[in-house]
Structure 1
């Protein structure tokens, strides 16, 4: 179980779907409107470090704190649920007293390296070589960085109406992912 391009491609596509950086463009634009500048480099590096660290020590950290992976995933589903409600209803649930930046919270965690991503990493670790997972994470972090850097241009290209429509559509998709993450893990809490 060593370096394998096919595994890297498979893992990369799974992570790309779970991270869903393209789907978070409306959230990124909204965060930039609220806090001003988003540090793309910082958000990308921090989310990459969180993912790689969690890949190797995540399950042990959760066990040490007395939290199982299913509980972690259910908690993450609630965060995604509330983010989706913000997107769909145009309300603000997450409030920060005079936020200075959104690069770490909520962008790097939980949007990019959230509970869904972390749960996926633990599942991938059981099936694939760690080196391939790390390479796939790094490839996805580069994609995340590029999308974060270009979010302003994407915003201008789509306009306010286009972003509003995309925000609502991706809000519903995010809500569906939250429900799926919740349903897939909540049963495990009661057995």
Structure 2
């Protein structure tokens, strides 16, 4: 179990910096012990704030933990006046066999980043989006991260908004704008066609 206390600044969009720090703690631990771990945006814990929590899933798809910001009602009940983000990872339920280490040379060329704002129907998990990106992202897509998640407002009922930052990079040279846009378009078409996701302008 772990917690991040304080830090009221904003990191990405509507998500506080402390939440992103706690999310990074889980990811960094998984990377350090070379164990696959995915984080799936989901309102699964009633004591955590809606739209600011993730499930932790092992490589076999089992839920092995969670991380998220304490709900306002919980903060008030315990007279907590600073934001608190908590997390739990059940290592006993996780296959801790390390994945083989694979080393690749670093690219000397700059990366290009693009943000996608997705309107996602209920029933489409972040794990499904992650799988599409992993399978169809192409050789230039090096990494991606969820930086925003909210419901309500002007969104249609039964949907949520997810902000995902894509990072593209080539080991052969600096990426041209056209190459990046083609890669982004390929990702967009797979998300729309496979999952029924809408890309917001």
Provide the TM-score with structure 2 as the length reference: 0.22
